[in-house]
Every structure is written in C-alpha cells, then in structure tokens.
A and B are shown apart, each in its own frame.
Chain A
C-alpha cells in the first residue's frame, strides 16, 4: 500500500471513529437534533461545530505552511464558484432525504461497521440514487455545467 492510500486509510479511521462516537451514525440521535418541537437532542450542534472549527483552523495552518500536500503535487480543491439551481435544488433534496431516513452519506458509511441491515438498505438505495442522479445529469446537460464529479465539493 502506498503512502497516499495509507494516509487515506488512517484519515478514514479517524473519520469513522469521530462519526461513530459523536452520534452522527445514529439515526435516532440525528433525527432528534432536527426535532426541536419534539424530542430535541442538541448534541449534533457540537459535532458540526467541533468539526467545522477544527477544520477551519487546521486548513488555515495547512494552506499557510505547506505549498503542496505531503504525498501529492497539489491540492485538489473544487473550482466551481456559482450558486446555481443544481446546487440549491440538490442540497434541498438531500435535506429532505436526510430528514426521512436519518442517515447522511458520511453517517451511513461508518454505520456499516455496526452491522445492521438498516444501514445496508439505506446505502443500497443511496447508491441507486447516485446512479439515477448521474443519468439525470447526463440527460440535462445544461444542469451539469458546474456540478460534474470532478468539480464537486466532496
């Protein structure tokens, strides 16, 4: 295994541990965060706040101190700039799906490690959605100008 894949594996381990202990992989907790009018659990604010603040500070240090990443020639950063319909509409849809199922992609993948069939069902449906989304984008070339996979934000 080369260093690039090893560092991705280690990053993945840290990511998965963070997701698992934070509660992001637990749909009951995720849905309760969004249920302010009901069984509200504010924990997720701390997950997102902690992650964002850490990344905000860490990225600044990395970009300031390192002209290039350790194992790559350069940083692969999204280049798309405009706020368009695919961005807003796609994100709106994502939120609706997240609210229905309680899983987001980053929460569901580590949750596979719990071994529940619910996660498998969600992931299978999500992959189906990814494939349908690709077909739809091909069918509507106007929409894809700025949202190709190469330029996607994540």
Chain B
C-alpha cells in the first residue's frame, strides 16, 4: 500500500512533538516518553499518575479536536488482527525491559545525548527495518 511523501506535514508534526517534549521538561521537569507515561497509569498506579493521565487525555483529544475542525488525517492499518495482537504484546514487553520507546529514547533521550538512549534507538530502528524487510520481502 503506497502512502504519499508528506514533508511539510511530517516536519511540522515532528516539530510539535519536540515542542511538547520541551514544554513538559520546562514546566514539569519530565520526559515526554509514552512508555513511562502509560506504565504509570497501569495499576499499581504510580504516585504521580495524575499528570500522566492528563498527558494521555491531551494526546488522545488532539486528533479528535483536529478532525472536529474538519481537517483530515491519513490513517490505514495494513496488518491483520493477529499481527496487532502479537506486535502489541512484543512492544509492551520490549519497552518495559528497554525502558522506553520512540518518544522517550528516540526523541527525549537522544536530545539529552544519553548514551543509553542512543544505543536503544539504533537497536530498535535496526530491528524494525529488519522485521519489515522479513515480513514484506522474505515471508
């Protein structure tokens, strides 16, 4: 399935993700990483679960508001339900051991020049490329 190259939208979106990370650090001193944020609202709740719930509420509400203004968002899921289940399970286990995902390691950790995050990001980018290659071209 082809998708269109969207340099302006993707760059603008990326900058917004960066702005969000900087804002959360400046105001609350926190890393804007979805792994840690989601992990903190899954029982047993972390002591400071409320700001995490607020961040999640905001990030879910944003596309709803955007669509409400009549804007469109390209969205398609070209995988099977089984792939969603297996992939989701592996992602959950992986980010728990790895201590972060694309947002936490890939953006916030890399921006702090954290060696752990640089290694984590290189590793997961490589295995994602490899996995997609295997599924789409070898299987």
Check if A and B associate: yes
Q: How many residues of B contact A (CB 8 A)?
A: 117
Cβ contact within 8 Å between A154 and B6? no
Once the chains bind, are A12 and B35 in contact (CB under 8 Å)? no
Query: Quick one: which of B27, B28, B51, B128 contacts A99, CB cutoff 8 A?
Result: B128
The contact string, 1 if C-beta is below 8 Å from chain A, for chain B 49-80, is 01110111111111111110000011111110
- The answer to whether B84 touches A154 (Cβ under 8 A) is no
Min distance, Cβ B118 to any Cβ of chain A, angstroms: 9
Q: Are A43 and B10 in contact (CB under 8 A)?
A: yes
Q: Is the Cβ of A16 less than 8 Å from the Cβ of B61? A: yes
Shortest beta-carbon distance, B11 to chain A, in Å?
A: 4
B62, closest chain A residue (CB): A16
CA distance A136 to B90 in the complex (A): 13
A46 at the interface (CB under 8 A from B): yes
Q: When the two chains form their complex, are residues B74 and A29 in contact, meaning their CB atoms are under 8 A apart?
A: yes
Which A79-115 residues sit within 8 Å CB-CB of chain B?
Answer: 80-83, 86-107, 109-114
Report the separation of the CA atoms of residues A98 and B100 in the bound assembly, to the nearest whole angstrom: 13
- The B interface, classified by DSSP as helix, strand, loop or mixed, is helix
**Which chain A residue lies CB-closest to B123?**
A91
- B18, A113: Cβ atoms closer than 8 Å: no
Give chain B residues whose Cβ lies under 8 Å from the Cβ of A25.
63, 73, 75
Residue of B nearest to A53 (CB): B18
**Minimal beta-carbon separation of A21 from chain B (angstroms):** 4
B135 pairs with A100, CB closer than 8 A? yes
Known contacts A43-B6, A44-B10, A93-B94, A114 near B63 by CB under 8 Å? yes
In the bound assembly, the distance between CA atoms of A27 and B5 in angstroms comes to: 14
**In the assembled complex, which residues on chain B have CB atoms less than 8 Å from the CB atom of A123?**
88
CB-nearest residue of chain B to A93: B94
**B-facing residues in A35-83 (Cβ within 8 Å):** 35-39, 41-44, 46-56, 58-59, 61-62, 66, 68-72, 74-78, 80-83
Pick the 9 closest A-B CB pairs, nearest first.
A154-B104, A154-B33, A129-B92, A22-B13, A12-B58, A54-B18, A101-B87, A50-B14, A99-B131
Query: B-contacting residues of A (Cβ < 8 Å)?
Result: 1, 3-29, 31-32, 34-39, 41-44, 46-56, 58-59, 61-62, 66, 68-72, 74-78, 80-83, 86-107, 109-114, 116, 118-119, 121-134, 136-137, 143, 147, 149, 151-154
Taking beta carbons and an 8 Å cutoff, which residues of B are in contact with A? 1-7, 9-40, 42, 46, 50-52, 54-67, 73-79, 81, 83-112, 114-117, 119-121, 123-133, 135-137
Further contacts, 5 of them, CB under 8 A, given A111-B63, A133-B93, A154-B103: A7-B27, A14-B17, A17-B16, A90-B95, A102-B77
